[in-house]
Amino acid sequence: MRQNLGDRSLQKLRAADLAALYAAMTRSGSAPRTIQVTHVCIHRALGQAKTWGLVRDNVAEIVKPPKAPDQETPMLQPAQAAALLDRLRGKPLYLLASLGLGTGMRRSEMLALRWQDIDLDAGRLTIERSLEQTTAGGVKPKSPKTRAGRRTISLPARLVTELRAHWRDQQQRRLALGIGRASDDSPVFATVDGGFLSPNGITKAWPRAMAEIGMPGVTLHSLRHTHASTLIASGMDVLTVSRRLGHASAVVTLRVYGHLIAGTDDRAAQIMDAALGSKMVAGSDGKPEK
């Protein structure tokens, strides 16, 4: 910025100066996302300067940096998902990965999950809150952003078995430490003393774990994306998938996964063919004949 603006004072800063800066950064090879971050910093700084009366206008409000390209979250194929779980088996993040793939839950929802939210006999769990990490208050649960975020979803049989085993292991560890059995409101994913795990800590630990097992491109969100994509590609209706993911509406689901639904068009044709009678063909007079 100093290179482009020289010794200009804040009062003389123009929108054209910022546009020239972003153009220069683009020519020098800076990524669009890097330019966007630069723009955000300048926008905030000028906004504060305006509040203090140092400038009359925030010229950053006029200039738009290059749009960062959307980065599609990778969808794991069934063999890749199986390989992920196989390589993580016995490691700290295994159950988190298994739950994410099996339910499509968000990271914050999984970390806020309590034993009282799970009915292992019925094979269901209820999502009533998520976990957030604040600068002042530390880690604390909060209610879902939308009504759709509060939901009950069915569990694959495999996950029920794994959660039962995890519950037994957790109880045994607590008893060995002399802190007693975990109560129903204890977190499923807990620290040694029974507290909530840090969302930021999990976010940092995940890429390290992926690098160790040779799957560095897999993100935490890949688990949720793979769950949804697999269901839709298999022919599951969008409304059910939307409810399972906790989307505010099916429109959100369509916007993210609509391209996969197009792949089920052949199945739609087969269904209509079966419904109308595949043996019906048009005769020479244009009327259907059997």
- Are 86 and 196 contained in the same domain? yes
- Residue 157: CB atoms within 10 A of its CB come to 10
130-134 and 124-127 beta bridge pairing: unpaired
Cβ-count burial of 114 within 10 angstroms (0-12 exposed, 13-18 middle, 19+ buried)?
buried
Look at residue 279 and tell me if it is in a domain.
no
| Structural domain harbouring 38 | 2-61
Residue 287 is classified by DSSP as: S
Residue with tokens 């980065």: 71
Q: Is 133 helix (H, G, I), strand (E, B) or coil?
A: strand
- Are 6 and 115 contained in the same domain? no
- Are 172 and 32 contained in the same domain? no
Alpha helices in the chain, H assignment, sequence order:
2-5, 15-27, 32-51, 78-88, 94-103, 107-112, 157-177, 199-212, 220-233, 238-245, 250-261, 265-276
Look at residue 181 and tell me if it is in a domain.
yes
CATH number of the domain that residue 16 is part of: 1.10.150.130
- Are 102 and 10 contained in the same domain? no
Q: What is the pLDDT of residue 130?
A: 92
Query: What is the count of structural domains for the chain?
Result: 2
CATH number of the domain that residue 113 is part of: 1.10.443.10
Look at residue 285 and tell me if it is in a domain.
no
Look at residue 288 and tell me if it is in a domain.
no
Give residue 191's identity as a one-letter amino acid code: T
Q: What is the pLDDT of residue 140?
A: 87
Look at residue 217 and tell me if it is in a domain.
yes
- pTM for the structure as a whole: 0.68
Residue with tokens 């683009």: 26
The rounded average pLDDT for each run of 10 residues, N- to C-terminus, in the chain (290 residues) is: 48 85 76 80 88 87 71 79 96 97 95 97 96 81 86 96 96 90 92 90 94 94 92 88 91 79 62 66 52
- Are 53 and 100 contained in the same domain? no
What are 126's two structure tokens? 């209820």
Q: What is the pLDDT of residue 7?
A: 38
Look at residue 188 and tell me if it is in a domain.
yes
- Are 42 and 100 contained in the same domain? no
pLDDT tens profile 102-131: 999 999 999 999 999 999 999 999 999 999
- Cα 23 from Cα 27, distance rounded (Å): 6
Instruction: Indicate the angle between helix axes 199-212 and 220-233, nearest 10 degrees.
Output: 80
- Are 132 and 234 contained in the same domain? yes
